[in-house]
Structure 1
Amino acid sequence: MAALLALLSGAGLGATDYFGGRQTARWGAYPVLALSQAAGLLILATLALILREPVPHGPTLLFGALAGMSEIIGTAALYFGLARGRASTVAPAAALAPLVPATVAVVTGGSVSVLLLIGAAGAVAGVVVVGILTPQEEGDARSGGLGWGLLAAAGFGGYLLFIALATESGTPVGALTVDRTIAFTLVVILLAVPRVRGGQKVGMRVRDAAWVGAIGVGIAASDLAYATATLLGNLTLAAVLSSTHPVFTVIYARIFGRERIGVGRWIGIGLTAAGAAAVAISS
């Protein structure tokens, strides 16, 4: 069951990443972020009420809030990158996220294993391979989006670090509810800024709004699936299978977006996914 949940988490996050990027290309990042975060928050808050979760406080509240800030940075960067660049460049770069908590662990006195070093080297090498293969070499005029992917990695890395700390002192549902509340609040505050609001499209079609809402529900469900998989006592297996989500993002881009992906890029994507999984295991 843990393996299935972790794999579903990877597939779900890959789907929400790709389709979130497509909707961002149509309507802009902030409306998509606001609606998707609101949908996810609604699901999590309802679940918290049904399960009679205790009100988060102390470390759960603090680290959950930091997780929400980090997540919204990562998600916004990822959506910008997928909307303007290539999924086969952005997604592998975003997969470097596990390096952030691993680096923090090492800096704060954690041990450095051979697996961690090999995984980090493999992940970075994979991103370098993907980055140096320019879109023009594969017949695509779009920019690569490597910078957006790296910013997304930093944001998601912070999220992985803080959500783990929040869950340690509370429950997955409670920590994720705080996370989504802060993320949604930040987006609403940004939309209140005239300069930001003026650059966004209005009048989202009902069908697209439903898609964006489904994306938010998918993110919440994927996060819960991963958290549940780790609680079942299979942290290593869950980390490996969930780390496959960039590969799923690229697969969706190939199937639905007809994105051309050469052999070199597939090699880079594979290196990054394997390296990220190794880092996640060793952390």
Structure 2
Amino acid sequence: MGIMFAALSAVLYGTADFSGGLATRKSPTAAVLVTSQILGLVIALVAAPLLGWDRVTAGDLLWGALAGMTGAIGLGYLYRGIARGFVAVTAPLAAVTGAAVPVIGGVLLGEAPGLLGWSGIAVSIPAIFLLAYEPGSRPDPVRMAESLKCGLVAGIAFGAFFILISRPSPAAGFWPIAASRAASVLMVLSWIRLRRERIRIARESMPAVAVAGSFDTAANITFVLSAQLELLPVVSVVSSLAPGPTVILGRVLLGEVLTANRITGLLLALVGVALLSL
């Protein structure tokens, strides 16, 4: 069941990423990010009391808030790397690092998977890279350095998010996710204020923004459920297969070409999830 929730979170994360990217075609990235995060906060505040909880401590909310801040930092560096560097370097590096960090963290926390689990992880991490990688010419060393720096920092931040959001007690229900969303909204609003940007969303972008915000929050909820039922290294790798659904949506809705790399990545992802589910 834990693997099923993790796979569902990957689908939801991938759909949210696709929708957010679609919205930024006609609206500023920062505006899309903060609007989707605010919508996610509203959904989390409505869902948390309805989904059940027994006892919430300050520590649970603190874990959630720290997760939200690291997630916001990750998004900021990811967008910076995409804007100033190369998408083909920044995105896969962030995805693979974001999967590797919780694996290391889980092992340090005493959550070591068995032989099949390690085999699934070994197959899934290259799958993540192949799904996100877009080959192309990259001659500019300055932009390459920016891509490497931003991709690495973003990946570490995303990995930290997975670790932190898995730490609150199950008795706290999903209130830590609400705390996570509140912290990320404050972080993004502060970033926009420092950059003196205006929050303006094109009307045609609003449906995509709504999907991005709601699906991202739903993905967080299903990830927390998966982390309560299965080892952190396992569920974090499965959840990091989010580029797979993004690629499929791009093919179905936008007619984008599935390259050999991405087809290989999809096949490896299926094998990896199968091994992890065993």
* TM-score, normalized by the shorter chain, greater than 0.5: yes
For residue 155 of structure 1, report the CA deviation from its aligned partner. 2.1
In 2, distance between residues paired with 1:119 and 1:223? 22
Aligned-partner residue type, residue 47 of structure 1: A
State how 1:161-200 maps to structure 2 within 5 Å: 161-166=163-168, 168=169, 170-193=171-194, 196-198=195-197
Q: 1:155 aligns with which of 123, 133, 157?
A: 157
Aligned-partner residue type, residue 179 of structure 2: V
Say whether 1:256 aligns with 2:273: no
Query: What's the TM-score, normalizing by structure 2?
Result: 0.74
Aligned-partner residue type, residue 166 of structure 2: A
Aligned-partner residue type, residue 262 of structure 1: T
In 1, distance between residues paired with 2:132 and 2:223? 29
SS at match of 1:254: helix
Deviations 1:27-56 (A, max 9, x none): 232211110110010111122344685784
For residue 191 of structure 1, report the CA deviation from its aligned partner. 1.5
For residue 126 of structure 1, report the CA deviation from its aligned partner. 4.6
RMSD over aligned CA atoms reads 4.1
In 2, distance between residues paired with 1:210 and 1:133? 27
For residue 74 of structure 1, report the CA deviation from its aligned partner. 2.7
Say whether 1:19 aligns with 2:19: yes
Aligned to 1:62: 62
For residue 13 of structure 1, report the CA deviation from its aligned partner. 1.3
Q: How many residues align?
A: 269
Q: Which moved more, 1:47-56 or 1:149-158?
A: 47-56
Aligned to 1:225: 222
Deviations 1:96-118 (A, max 9, x none): 42321221233466658555654
Q: Which moved more, 1:149-158 or 1:263-272?
A: 263-272
For residue 186 of structure 1, report the CA deviation from its aligned partner. 0.6
Aligned to 2:208: 211
In 2, distance between residues paired with 1:269 and 1:220? 24
In 2, distance between residues paired with 1:255 and 1:81? 27
Q: Which runs of 5+ in 2 are unaligned?
A: 139-143
CA 164–254 in structure 1, closer or farther in 2 if over 3 Å, else same: same
State how 1:96-175 maps to structure 2 within 5 Å: 96-107=97-108, 114-115=115-116, 118-119=119-120, 121-123=122-124, 125-126=126-127, 134-135=135-136, 150-166=152-168, 168=169, 170-175=171-176
CA 35–191 in structure 1, closer or farther in 2 if over 3 Å, else same: same
The answer as to whether partners of 1:96 and 1:276 remain within 8 angstroms in 2 is: no
Aligned to 2:29: 29
For residue 190 of structure 1, report the CA deviation from its aligned partner. 1.3
Q: Which runs of 5+ in 1 are unaligned?
A: 138-142
Aligned-partner residue type, residue 175 of structure 2: G
Q: Which moved more, 1:236-245 or 1:249-258?
A: 236-245
Query: What's the TM-score, normalizing by structure 1?
Result: 0.73
Query: Percent identity among equivalent residues?
Result: 26
For residue 165 of structure 1, report the CA deviation from its aligned partner. 0.6
Aligned to 1:140: none
SS at match of 2:201: coil
In 1, distance between residues paired with 2:227 and 2:109? 23
Deviations 1:40-81 (A, max 9, x none): 101111223446857843321221121011111233445566
For residue 220 of structure 1, report the CA deviation from its aligned partner. 1.1
In 2, distance between residues paired with 1:240 and 1:67? 17
SS at match of 1:165: coil
Aligned to 2:141: none
For residue 223 of structure 1, report the CA deviation from its aligned partner. 2.0
SS at match of 1:135: coil
Aligned-partner residue type, residue 217 of structure 1: S
